[in-house]
Amino acid sequence: MAIDYRHGISILEIIVYSPTLFLALWMAFHHGFGRSSGWFFFILFCLARIVGSGCYLATVHYPSNANLYIAWAVCTSLGLSPLILACIGLLSRANDSIMRKTGKPLPQIIFRVISIISLVAVILSIVGATTNSNIGQGLVTTESKVGMILYLVTWIGVLGLFLLVLQRNQSIEDGEHRLLLAVGISLPLILVRLVYSFIYSFGHKSAFNMVSGNVTIQLVMSVLEEMVVVFVCLGIGLTLQVRPTAQYTQQPSVHSGEDIVELESGRLQGQTGEKRRGQRPKRRGGPITRLVMYIVDEVNDRKQ
């Protein structure tokens, strides 16, 4: 088989994502491999595109090998999830910035739920691609269709997160507002990529078939969008400073009944209980006696 237009796209992806992979690795090492940073997912995305393109180029010599097409389809299915998770990671970093500055971030459970939905979507997409070896149908199955629906749900969730963080724009530290710019540019491009996959999965349009459809449509609605998202996010990432992941815990104060909120950037502690503690006389006796007297002291303190 001779090299055609679609093989040319695979060559382009290998040329683009090979150096981008090293940039993503450097970004992950520079900012940290924590999932909240989002850079880790660009590594996964670049690997998926390089491996998938390599498998499709191998069909030049083995055009009848269905496993190569399936491997390429699986790697293609992996494309949306890392990009969406990367956007969630960037928004999570912006949320960390809000936490460090004001101590009033969005609940982390929201980020986790949307991430889990995205992971379920990619699992269903992989299962769908591996259970159907009919290349003529474009490897579309019920599982892959459900996966696409979950991708749409995830995208809507990320859009909601973006709007919530955008409302707290004034609470973000200086220099971290660029994260919102990266996500704001990426979300419409990811939506175009999602629309392409939806038409391909549900529209039964031959021009959108990933194996035998119009290659120019694939290039304009899928390949270029992914490249722009990666370039924008990594490009803005190069301008960001290394910042610690803000962690906070809320604990009830044993002595004063106040809540103690500990931030990495500073600690707020209730001082009332400490002062009362210092005024208490020293108690003698065994552990049980001390425990009883401690309870009595606590009751007296609360009455004051």
Q: Match 């749409």 to its residue by tokens.
A: 152
pLDDT in tens, 130-150: 776 566 555 677 888 899 999
Cβ-contact 141, 131 below 8 angstroms:
yes
CATH of residue 118: 1.20.1070
159 and 84 both lie in a single domain: yes
Residue numbers of the domain that contains 263: 249-303
pLDDT, average across residues 17-40? 84
Strand partners for 300:
none
CA 231 to chain centre: 16
Same domain, 24 and 129: yes
> Are residue 73 and residue 179 in the same domain, yes or no?
yes
Last residue of a domain, one of 197, 217, 237: 237
Domain identity same for 142 and 257: no
Instruction: Read off the pTM.
Output: 0.77
Region of 244 on the Ramachandran plot (φ > 0 left; ψ -120 to 50 alpha; else beta): beta
In percent, the amount of the chain with pLDDT more than 90 equals 41
Answer for the pair 94, 87: CB distance below 8 angstroms, yes or no. no
**Could you read off the pLDDT of 245-259 as tens digits, one per residue?**
666 454 343 333 434
Residue 244 lies in a domain: no
Q: Let me know if residue 242 belongs to a domain.
A: no
Domain C-terminal end among 213, 237, 261? 237
Rounded Cα distance, 142 and 72, in Å: 19
Q: Of 154-158, 174-178, 277-281, which one has max mean pLDDT?
A: 154-158
Is the distance from CB of 138 to CB of 211 less than 8 angstroms?
yes
Q: Decide if 76 is inside a domain.
A: yes
From 210, 237, 264, give the residue that closes a domain: 237
Residue 140 included in any domain: yes
Predicted pLDDT at 21: 95
- Nearest residue to 210 via CA among 1, 3, 45, 9: 9
> Does 182 share its domain with 279?
no
CA dihedral angle for residue 211, residue 216, residue 219, residue 224, rounded to 10 degrees: -170
Residue 19 tokens, joined:
């150096």
In a domain, 263, yes or no: yes
Residues 166 and 35 in one domain: yes
Q: Are residues 263 and 200 in the same domain?
A: no
- pLDDT mean over 156-168: 95
CA distances to 138, 207, 217 from 212, in Å: 8, 8, 12
| Statement to judge: residues 254 and 229 lie in one domain | no
Confidence check: pLDDT of 33 > 90: no
Summarize pLDDT for 251-293 with one digit per residue, the tens: 343 333 434 343 444 443 344 444 444 455 555 555 555 655 6
